[in-house]
Chains A and B, each alone.
Chain A
Amino acid sequence: MGIYSCIGSNLDEVAQSLQAGRSGIGIDPLRTDYGYRSPLTGIVARPALKGVLDRRLRTNLAEESEYAYMATIEALRNAGIDPDYLAAHEAGIVYGNDSSSKAVIEAHTIALEKHDTQLIGSGSIFQSMNSTVTMGLSTIFKLRGINLTISAACASGSHAIGIGAMLIRNGLQQMVICGGAQEVNYLSMSSFDALGTFSVRVNDPTRASRPFDAHRDGLVPSGGAATVILEDYESAIKRGAPIIAEVAGYGFSSNGGNISQPSDVGSQIAMERALAESGLSVADIDYVNAHATSTPQGDAFEAIALDRLFGSVRPPISSTKSMTGHECWMAGASEIVYSTLMMQRSFVAPNINFETPDEHSAKLNIATKMFEKKIDAYLSNSFGFGGTNSALVVKKL
């Protein structure tokens, strides 16, 4: 696996941040000038790819594709996959992404000024589409298997891993590069800011994202990319791959209702399906990485669902969004990477800024501090606009 996020640009940095409870949130002055209600965001450095990647390949990459490239290079390296392996074996890609706003807006700005679409340039079309990540990475890594982008709002990355696992389980692919990517530029989040859902705790950025806390006032947008390499077990054994964990269960559902209102019932169905497929019971789950984004409604509905599902079992729960902010299209994949790091290194990352429980979160066992714990199986939740829900159960092998 590989990661490029606001709390670190590789697995080791991210693991250290998770253990230290370090926030990656800051202020983007461009957002204030642009007219945002909140300038808070995850701060993610753009990777320098000139001289690393050929111009033609680089020109086609949107911001989030660059992050995905960085995460995927790390993931392939850790999985022991090199270009020769990809030339000799069919590998696919299923990646979550649900916007690529910057290129669209910049193309419009050029056309508005020049009245001539020929002055937009060649990269814009490839950067404008939601499938920009899978287009870019499949050409860079010369992939010949499935080539598919999953757009499912804030559950995109989670569904991508679930669908990738499904393809492997059904014998349709031996290896699938899965993940999620999220752009961070100020052009991409203005319409989300318009809903008034972002925290305005501007004087205290690292304490702004506070999932489950009674004094939460909204989410903090963030981004980057996360990649996991899914592989058929026999194939992995045969080539001596460093096997980390198994995607044991994928559960999905749709709320069938309001476009922005979460549902305790819908999210519980997804969690139950993931558990059922994994063959595990709630008592087998050692850790839950909650979707909780720090919005009043979303966190409450998830807390209700978690309490109803787990009852007296009360596994440790944290929302790593307290440190990363809400990584949106990427979150479902990055939170698999964060949780798997915890599984590998036997610790539970804290839900920082959880100071005062509300009536729902008081019923949960929320980790306020990092602590050591052996994790054999965990559950990771992702829910999105339109009522799309995805839950994954991952277990140690």
Chain B
Amino acid sequence: MKTREEIISTVNNFLIEEIEIEADMLKEEALLKDDLGIDSLDFVDIVVIVERNFGFKIKPEDMAKVLTLGQFYDFIENRLNA
């Protein structure tokens, strides 16, 4: 069981360190694609990083409604607490 703060911290950390997104860009309302510039190839790497950090694999169809960073935190929180 991870708290939302722990999830946010882990996600932000890998977005900064591994996807190399500027820390001040990481706001809950930021759009993954248009604001953070995460493209389809970055997403392939995020699948790998999430599996390594949280122990589950994201399926592309699961992400269809995940548009913002806040929704991405929600998605991970829901999966971990399901």
Contacts and interface: CB of A to CB of B under 8 A. Distances in A.
Instruction: Check if A and B associate.
Output: yes
A121 B45 contact: yes
B51 interface: yes
A119 B20 contact: no
B19 A55 contact: yes
A119 B48 contact: yes
Interface residues of B, number: 11
B19 A118 contact: no
B44 A55 contact: no
Given A116-B57, A118-B57, A119-B57, A59 B45 contact: yes
A168 B39 CA distance: 37
Interface string B38-57: 01011011011001000001
Nearest to A51: B20
Contacts of B19: 55
Contact of B48 (A54, A55, A56, A121): A121
A119 B42 contact: no
Contacts of B42: 56, 122
A63 B79 CA distance: 37
A122 B41 contact: yes
Interface residues of A, number: 11
Nearest to B47: A118
A123 B45 CA distance: 8
Interface in A43-93: 54-56, 59
A121 B57 CA distance: 13
A214 B7 CA distance: 66
A129 to B, nearest CB: 15
A116 B47 CA distance: 11
B6 to A, nearest CB: 23
Contacts of B48: 118-121
Nearest to A121: B48
A54 B51 CA distance: 24
Interface string A115-142: 0101111110000000000000000000
B42 to A, nearest CB: 7
Contacts of B47: 118-119
B51 A56 contact: no
A54 to B, nearest CB: 8
Nearest to B59: A118
**A-B pairs, 7 with minimum CB distance:** A122-B44, A122-B41, A55-B20, A121-B48, A122-B45, A119-B48, A121-B45
Given A56-B39, A118-B44, A121-B45, 4 more contacts: A54-B20, A55-B19, A56-B42, A118-B57
26 contacts: A54-B20, A55-B19, A55-B20, A56-B39, A56-B41, A56-B42, A59-B41, A59-B45, A116-B57, A118-B44, A118-B47, A118-B48, A118-B57, A119-B47, A119-B48, A119-B51, A119-B57, A120-B48, A121-B44, A121-B45, A121-B48, A122-B41, A122-B42, A122-B44, A122-B45, A123-B45
